[in-house]
Structure 1
Amino acid sequence: MQLKFRGVRGSIPTPGPNTVKYGGNTTCIEIRTDSGELIILDAGTGIYSLSQQLDKGKPVDAHIFITHTHWDHIQGLPFFTPAFMRGNQITIYGGLDPVTQQSIQRALAVQLQYSFFPIREAELKATVRYVTLTPGKSVMVGDARITPLLLNHPVLNFGYRIECDDRSVFFTGDYEPLFNIYRPEDQEYEPFQSMVDERFVEVCAFLHGVDALIVDASYTEEEYVFKRGWGHGTYQSGLNLAVRSDAKRLFFTHHEPNRTDMDLDNIYRQLLEQYQNLDIELNMAREGIEYNI
């Protein structure tokens, strides 16, 4: 498998001279299998650059897996240009929102409403279909097996495990490990902590042995004190997850919009120094960089 980051930023695009190295587009990851299948994880603004580099002389068969429907993960969908070309096939996968009872189709349909976009969904020339996923139930894209895992975030959020070509990748989407909402002296503390611990073990078992783990690492530990419950992880929580799941390579992504290239360089340098004896390859996700998994 080949893995290329098309967008690594969280919350909002951040173009400009201070984000050139790591990139300013929001979340989008391109995966190519050895047989040529195109799998796309999330459709932030990074999906536009991906669409511009596709061979326009060949029909596109794209499989877009949406982790969740917050804006920074779907706002590029209306600008995925293959959708406007006849003969292309686009399949969009996602969950059924338990609050709205709406399927993933809503993510594109809402953005293509009259008030928000000049082109209606009915005017798209490509064949677009939608697949509602069930946690733990795999779907196949060619030889690739993709399995969704429900992860903690303030809206329905799937992490995805992709297995193909004897390799595996897991992407968390936006993920904050569960934490105990009670104080140690509260009667509810111990049973709730047991649930938190059990859930973490389940997540690690699902991820076990992945060749590449891509995690939401929005915050430092110091920042997280003020942003607990916002639905995002830290560099430390990403490392904990990688160690416990025996991941081989770890990619930190969903960079905070206020992080400059210099900030990310400094954080990365500190991580490499602090964990130099760790038997896991550490990477700071960079837009446009391709990896062989």
Structure 2
Amino acid sequence: MSSMQDQFTVHFWGVRGSIACPGPETVRYGGNTPCVEIRVGDKRLIFDGGTGLRVLGQQLLSQMPVEAYMFFTHSHWDHIQGFPFFTPAFIKGNKFHVYGAIAPNGATIKQRLNDQMLHPNFPVPLQIMGAQLDFNDIEVGQTVLLGDVKVENALLNHPGESVGYRINWQGHAVAYITDTEHFSDRLDENVQKLAHQADVMIYDATYTDEEYNSPSSGKVGWGHSTWQEAVKAAIAAGVKTLVIFHHDPLHNDDFLDRVGEQVKQKFPNSMMAREGESIVIVPPTEASLSDSEVEAQVSA
């Protein structure tokens, strides 16, 4: 197991929304669906289990035995489809604490992860997984305490419901806010609560305002936001660093480059989420990050 202690780092393993889109036009930003790993204190937290979770799983094989806390925003396919391919979950000796809010139809996170692995959808049932899986249902607004790490959540504006998370540790905070649609007449109070003066706000900016409001192919009601609204939310909440996340599968690398330039004009301390990149809020004290990860130092 890794010896890193007393750190606060964010690692991006999947940053794309809706459907995985590997190919020559998505090489720089990546085509895997959402998975964000946060190392905080001596704990490993994983947010969402899109196809990026498979990639993380391969990296974790060299660090076993592994214990991690997995938080799901919701169970749309792009956020859970990597779970059946998460190799460490099949290996005895590993331990995963799984958290998720109960769906509007009453289904628990265990039921939803189990159902996607049943025939005829998948050949191997969840029960084959050899790791210890500890499933936990959380209420909207409930705080989860993991030692000195505090994980808060709030309801987001998304079809079928989604929750955003705020990870607090020693005066620092990261807000993970994806699959949410802004309101046309006001800022979302829940988004503001999660992001208030956070060191990092990771925000669902799937569209541009032009795409969102297009008369012919508008995205109103689809459950996602825009980079322009991300900037508004970040400024209002007083966040230090804004991360544009959940990229539309139709947005290739060049398109995202242009979006990144526009975002920086409005919010200079911002970045576009890229697979393989990391943000260091509090550096690890006992080991360095992997050479394969790109570090972005965030001022406290």
Provide TM-score, normalisation by structure 1.
Answer: 0.88
> How far apart, in 2, do the equivalents of 1:147 and 1:63 lie?
14
Shift of 1:206: 3.9
> How far apart, in 2, do the equivalents of 1:25 and 1:57 lie?
22
> How far apart, in 2, do the equivalents of 1:20 and 1:31 lie?
23
Residues 57, 26 of structure 1: alpha-carbon distance in 2 compared, 3 angstrom cutoff = closer
> How far apart, in 2, do the equivalents of 1:47 and 1:213 lie?
21
Residues 24, 127 of structure 1: alpha-carbon distance in 2 compared, 3 angstrom cutoff = same
Shift of 1:57: 5.4
- Any idea what SS the aligned residue of 2:54 has? helix
Q: Please say which of residues 127-136 and 249-258 is displaced more in the overlay.
A: 127-136
Question: After superposition, where does 1:145-224 map in structure 2 within 5 Å?
Answer: 145-179=150-184, 197=186, 200-224=188-212
- After the TM superposition, which segments of 4 or more aligned residues of structure 1 sit over 4 Å from their partners? none
Q: Is the 8 A contact 2:177 2:191 kept in 1?
A: no
> How far apart, in 1, do the equivalents of 2:229 and 2:262 lie?
16
Percentage identity across aligned positions? 41
Shift of 1:268: 1.1
Write 1 or 2 for the structure with the bigger share of strand. 2
Write 1 or 2 for the structure with the bigger share of helix. 1
> How far apart, in 2, do the equivalents of 1:57 and 1:176 lie?
37
Give the residue type in structure 2 aligned to 1:161.
R
The answer to whether 1:14 aligns with 2:14 is no
User: Can you list the C-alpha shifts for 1:46-102, whole angstroms capped at 9, x where unaligned?
Assistant: 00110101144521112110001110011001111111111111111111112x111
- Any idea what SS the aligned residue of 2:212 has? helix
List gaps (5 residues or longer) in structure 1: 181-196
> How far apart, in 2, do the equivalents of 1:44 and 1:264 lie?
20
Shift of 1:201: 3.8
> How far apart, in 1, do the equivalents of 2:271 and 2:121 lie?
37
Q: Is the 8 A contact 1:88 1:126 kept in 2?
A: yes
- Residue of structure 2 equivalent to 1:183: none
Matching residue within 193, 214, 235 for 1:243: 235
- Residue of structure 2 equivalent to 1:233: 225
After superposition, the CA RMSD in angstroms is 1.5
The answer to whether 1:66 aligns with 2:87 is no
> How far apart, in 1, do the equivalents of 2:245 and 2:180 lie?
11
The answer to whether 1:264 aligns with 2:259 is no
Question: After superposition, where does 1:81-92 map in structure 2 within 5 Å?
Answer: 81-92=87-98
> How far apart, in 2, do the equivalents of 1:106 and 1:229 lie?
27
Residues 282, 57 of structure 1: alpha-carbon distance in 2 compared, 3 angstrom cutoff = closer
List gaps (5 residues or longer) in structure 2: 1-7, 282-300
